[in-house]
């Protein structure tokens, strides 16, 4: 039987791309019984009824999956954060980074609106950017006009499945429109009272950008650590993985344990203090989470 990749899911139909054709498929009833839902990004086997219609019969094992947006096999997340309007938030960025790391997705940090900063503000944002680069993250800078920064972003999208996520109201849809002007993705204006933008996309679809694929929906609308366990949290901070190898106790959670190399690295300013502070916040949040049954 032929195979392909689900490019779009809409109203119970799955649009499977198989080389140069797209076949509109339904899922087999067995998926419902097994409580499995085919997702955009899935590699599937399908049975063709004719040239344009068929049934999804098998789903290959996923390397990861997201609930919101519902998508599978994501390679990377482009985290879009504005330098100003709204202000750059390391707390929110670190929350996104932990969520991305917990799904084994590579993050790319993109700081927009750099051209709107004063010289002092530029120094502050550049300092943050360098600290994240020192951790090992890719950090891109762009202006308020996304067309000016696309040449730095596009090479990272090649041959990857990417989602865009980040602060609300920073223009994620504007980026996609700049990448593919023919899309004309609709966006609502930012609400001045809430400081938030609304995205009007109603389904998930993978769009071709060069040799890459991009989901046309904002990622991670749920920012709670509902699936992350305490023991996994340190592994979502690359610098803690690095220094944690020197901790006295295996399985050190870098909170109250003696001879903790991570806490020493914070004191010696090898780990930014705000990163450790956010780690502590996330630790307490997960610890106080209601148990799941």
CA 220, distance to chain mean position in Å, is 7
Neighbours of 178 (CB within 10 A): 18
Q: What is the pLDDT of residue 220?
A: 66
pLDDT in tens, 214-269: 987 766 666 788 889 999 999 999 999 999 999 999 899 999 999 999 999 999 99
189 pLDDT more than 50: no
Q: What is the pLDDT of residue 191?
A: 34
What topology is assigned to 230-287 in CATH? Ribonucleotide Reductase Protein R1; domain 1 (1.10.40)
180 pLDDT more than 60: yes
Q: What is the mean pLDDT of residues 5-21?
A: 93
Q: Which residue has the higher pLDDT, 7 or 203?
A: 7
The least confident of 26-35, 77-86, 113-122, 135-144 is 26-35
SS3 at position 5: strand
Q: What is the mean pLDDT of residues 17-24?
A: 93
pTM of the model as a whole: 0.87
Question: Which strand (E) or helix (H) includes residue 139?
Answer: strand 138-141
Check: CB of residue 82 under 8 Å from CB of residue 116: no
Question: Which strand (E) or helix (H) includes residue 273?
Answer: helix 273-287
User: What is the gyration radius of the CA atoms in the chain, in angstroms?
Assistant: 21
Q: What is the pLDDT of residue 172?
A: 73
Confidence grade of residue 190 (pLDDT, cut at 50, 70, 90): very low
**What are the structural domain ranges in the chain?**
3-61, 71-218, 230-287
Q: What is the pLDDT of residue 279?
A: 98
Q: Please give the Cα distance from 81 to 255 (Å, whole number).
A: 29
Q: What is the pLDDT of residue 197?
A: 42
Q: What is the pLDDT of residue 100?
A: 93
CA 4, distance to chain mean position in Å, is 24
Q: Please give the Cα distance from 71 to 169 (Å, whole number).
A: 22
Establish whether domains 3-61 and 230-287 are of one fold: no
Tell me the CA end-to-end span of the chain in Å, nearest whole number.
Answer: 40
Class (C level, CATH) for 3-61: mainly beta
Neighbours of 245 (CB within 10 A): 10
Check: CB of residue 44 under 8 Å from CB of residue 6: yes
- Tokens representing 257 are 């344990």
Task: Name the superfamily (CATH) of residues 71-218.
Answer: P-loop containing nucleotide triphosphate hydrolases (3.40.50.300)
Q: What is the pLDDT of residue 257?
A: 93
């Amino acid at each position: 039987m032929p195979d392909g990749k689900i490019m779009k899911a809409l109203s119970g139909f799955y649009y499977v791309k198989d080389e140069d054709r797209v076949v509109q498929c339904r899922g087999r009833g067995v998926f419902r019984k097994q409580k499995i839902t085919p997702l955009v990004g899935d590699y599937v086997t399908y049975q063709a009824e004719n040239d344009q219609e068929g049934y999804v019969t098998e789903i290959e094992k996923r390397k990861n999956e997201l609930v919101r947006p519902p998508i599978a096999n994501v390679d990377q997340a482009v985290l879009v954060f504005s330098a100003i309007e709204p202000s750059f938030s390391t707390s929110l960025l670190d929350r996104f980074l932990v969520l991305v790391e917990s799904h084994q997705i590579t993050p790319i940090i993109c700081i927009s609106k750099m051209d709107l900063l004063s010289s002092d503000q530029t120094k502050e944002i550049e300092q943050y950017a360098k600290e994240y680069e020192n951790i090992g993250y890719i950090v891109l800078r762009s202006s308020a006009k996304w067309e000016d920064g696309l040449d730095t972003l596009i090479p990272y999208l090649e041959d990857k499945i990417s989602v865009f996520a980040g602060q609300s109201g920073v223009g994620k849809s504007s980026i996609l429109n700049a990448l593919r002007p023919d899309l004309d993705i609709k966006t609502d204006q930012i609400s001045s009272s809430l400081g938030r933008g609304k995205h009007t996309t109603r389904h998930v679809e993978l769009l071709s950008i060069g040799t890459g694929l991009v989901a046309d929906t904002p990622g991670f609308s749920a920012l709670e650590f509902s699936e992350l366990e305490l023991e996994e949290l340190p592994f979502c901070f690359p610098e803690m993985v690095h220094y944690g190898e020197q901790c006295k106790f295996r399985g050190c959670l870098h909170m109250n344990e003696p001879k903790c190399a991570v806490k020493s690295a914070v004191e010696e300013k090898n780990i930014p203090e705000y990163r450790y502070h956010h780690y502590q916040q996330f630790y307490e949040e997960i610890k106080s989470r209601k148990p799941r049954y």
